[in-house]
Structure 1
Amino acid sequence: MKSIYLACALGLGAVTLAGCDQKPAEEEVAAAPLTASEGKLFLPAVSGNPGAVYFKLENPGDRAISVRKADVEGAGSAELHDYMEYDDTEMGSIGVVTVQPGETVSFEPGGKHVMAFDLSPDLKPESVTSVTLTMAGGKTMSFDVDVLPADAER
């Protein structure tokens, strides 16, 4: 009788250990259902100053999506910015940009944009880099932007 219990215990132990060998499925964060177009990074006229990223962001979905963070490949950091009116017009960091269903939000000169700080000297005019937006909830999307000199037409 002991041998039956021993065999069962060994069998269950082997099944348990076999399950430990399997790696858990990696959670994949799905891309946000937004589309970006017309992406451009304008390099600063003075080395060491930040660059500005402009693009159009469209929400073809049926619910609002909030962008809470931007990252630019080749930049030490990046921030979502907008022009705000106080005593005079000033530019400042904003926390979130919400894109309503069916809406297109333009990131453009004199309005919303992404400021890219501490730019790598490897970013040269006529090259391409990548912007990654992070949404509330953790979904991300990446898209390419053309790198242009400061004096290019905006």
Structure 2
Amino acid sequence: MSLKKCLLSVVFLVAGGLAQAHSYEAGAIHIDHPWSRAMPPTAPAAAAYFVLQNTGAEADRLLGASTPVAGKAELHEHAHVDGLMKMHHVPVVDIGPGEQVDFVPGGYHVMLFELSRQMQAGERFPLTLRFEKAGEVTVEVAVQADAPQSAPAQHGMMHHAH
């Protein structure tokens, strides 16, 4: 194999590895593929999504989140209220033993307010998740042009303004 072919193989292997979902561990909590959708520069907020799995025998709960790219990060949920889809702040998100909680458009998500700027597709930013038992873990959120194809089924894509 020529040096050129060898180098090209390495480049494709590395690029393929970077494109794959990334995951993190915090105690018994497994965090899979944190991502955010690229937003227009004038959008007042953004959202972060991921999947939480509790592989332990005890319940845990997500207490909050923070990131240096936003002045404020809040846990939110979309819910049907009086026949309308509404978004509201939730103080905590419970994760029972053996359970999975999907943070997806139209469901749970982390709202990011007071952004220093909107992140563009291809960028990444740190997001620290704070759990009651598992403690804190900082994940890298991949900014994507659209939802990843490997994301869990999305429940009613809704756009919302704050």
Judging changes above 3 Å, is the alpha-carbon distance between structure 1 residues 153 and 139 closer, same or farther for their aligned structure 2 residues?
closer
Q: Match of 1:73? A: 68
Are the counterparts in 1 of residues 52 and 101 from structure 2 also a CA contact under 8 Å?
yes
Aligned-partner SS, 1:45:
coil
Could you list the runs of 5+ residues in structure 2 that have no partner in the other structure? 1-25, 149-162
Q: What do residues 62-117 of structure 1 show as CA deviations (whole Å, max 9, x unaligned)?
A: 10001111112311111000012222220010011011111111000110011111
Q: Match of 2:142? A: 146
Length-normalised TM-score, structure 1: 0.70
Are the counterparts in 2 of residues 32 and 140 from structure 1 also a CA contact under 8 Å?
no
| Count of matched residue positions in the alignment of Structure 1 and Structure 2 | 122
Indicate yes or no: 2:15 matched with 1:42: no
Q: Match of 1:99? A: 95
For residue 135 of structure 1, the aligned residue among 131, 143, 147 is 131
Residue type at the aligned position of 1:71: S
Judging changes above 3 Å, is the alpha-carbon distance between structure 1 residues 107 and 132 closer, same or farther for their aligned structure 2 residues?
same
Judging changes above 3 Å, is the alpha-carbon distance between structure 1 residues 137 and 64 closer, same or farther for their aligned structure 2 residues?
closer
Aligned-partner SS, 2:107:
coil
Residue type at the aligned position of 2:110: V
Residue type at the aligned position of 2:132: A
Could you list the runs of 5+ residues in structure 1 that have no partner in the other structure? 1-30
Indicate yes or no: 2:107 matched with 1:115: no
Residue type at the aligned position of 1:94: V
- Please tell me whether Structure 1 or Structure 2 has the larger radius of gyration of its CA atoms: 1
Residue type at the aligned position of 1:74: V
Judging changes above 3 Å, is the alpha-carbon distance between structure 1 residues 33 and 68 closer, same or farther for their aligned structure 2 residues?
same
Are the counterparts in 2 of residues 69 and 79 from structure 1 also a CA contact under 8 Å?
yes
- Root-mean-square deviation (CA, aligned residues, Å) is 2.0
Measure the CA separation in 1 of the matches of 2:118 and 2:44: 15
Measure the CA separation in 1 of the matches of 2:121 and 2:142: 8
Cα distance, 1:48 vs. partner?
4.1
Cα distance, 1:38 vs. partner?
1.5
Judging changes above 3 Å, is the alpha-carbon distance between structure 1 residues 153 and 84 closer, same or farther for their aligned structure 2 residues?
closer
Are the counterparts in 2 of residues 74 and 129 from structure 1 also a CA contact under 8 Å?
yes
